[in-house]
Amino acid sequence: MTDFATARRHMVDGQVRTADVTDLRILAAMLEIPRENFVPSSAAGLAYLDLDLAVGEAGARRLLKPMVLAKLIHAANVASSDRVLDVGCSTGYAAAILSRIVGQVIALEQDSSLAKTARAALALQSNVNIVSGPLIAGWPQGAPYDVILLEGATEIAPHTFLGQLKDGGRLVCVLGSGPAAKAMLYCRSGEELGGRPIFDASAVVLPGFARAPVFAF
């Protein structure tokens, strides 16, 4: 039988601390929250490996690698009073991490079965609200947000989320697919959303965030 507490500690010490994540709140949350509860029971033994773990019907969606998730949250420089929009929350693991750190989490999921799983897993977290809708639209009903996290890659720059961020708000994501992909930190300044790469990363592209195909004649 897997010793999940030991596996959790090895994940934090071997994948997260070594990636220059120094925010003690993130480290504590990742040590406390059982990631195995957010994956299919058949994959529980894989919960703490350094991989994008398949969840949902036919494994079509992925949880971000622990290191990538931790570094994105760290880069967003979240405060305890922040309101965060978690886009593509899937089974709710990242929302659970954020719930220990920020004031309120709006967790958006368009897959009804994943949203149901997230609601069950986070039923006791009073500062998390699971909402359903197209990921690409965000959740303007709850805007503006201090931070927006895209839980997956986008092949298109996330400028459509400008209006859902507070002035000075931050958006973190993985931009691009394949070996050229980068984790990005965007900040809103007035009516501009400026971004910069923060580290090399890869992730599965979220539904609705793929670049439109270009046809050559």
Distance CA 183, CA 161 (A): 17
**Backbone region of residue 209 per phi and psi (left: phi > 0; alpha: psi in -120 to 50; beta: other values):** alpha
Per-residue pLDDT of the chain (217 residues; tens, 9 = 90+): 679 999 999 999 999 999 999 999 999 999 999 999 999 988 999 999 999 999 987 778 999 999 999 999 999 999 999 999 999 999 999 999 999 999 999 999 999 999 999 999 999 999 999 999 999 999 999 999 999 999 999 999 999 999 999 999 999 999 998 888 999 999 999 999 999 999 999 999 999 999 877 655 5
Backbone angles phi, psi at 164, to 5 degrees: -100, 0
What letters, b where the CB count within 10 A reaches 16 and e where it falls short, cover 158-189?
beebeebbeeebbbbbbbbbeeebbbbbbbbe
pLDDT score at 215:
57
User: How crowded is residue 23: how many other Cβ atoms within 10 Å of its Cβ?
Assistant: 15
Distance CA 4, CA 103 (A): 28
Distance CA 143, CA 129 (A): 13
Number of residues that this document lists for the chain: 217
pLDDT score at 184:
98
Burial classification of residue 94, based on how many CB atoms lie within 10 Å of its CB (0-12 exposed, 13-18 middle, 19 or more buried): buried
Distance CA 104, CA 85 (A): 9
pLDDT score at 213:
72
In the chain, the domains with their CATH numbers are: 4-200 (3.40.50.150)
CB 76 within 8 A of CB 184: no
Burial classification of residue 191, based on how many CB atoms lie within 10 Å of its CB (0-12 exposed, 13-18 middle, 19 or more buried): exposed
In the chain, DSSP finds a helix count (H) and a strand count (E) of 5, 9
pLDDT score at 178:
82
pTM of the model: 0.95
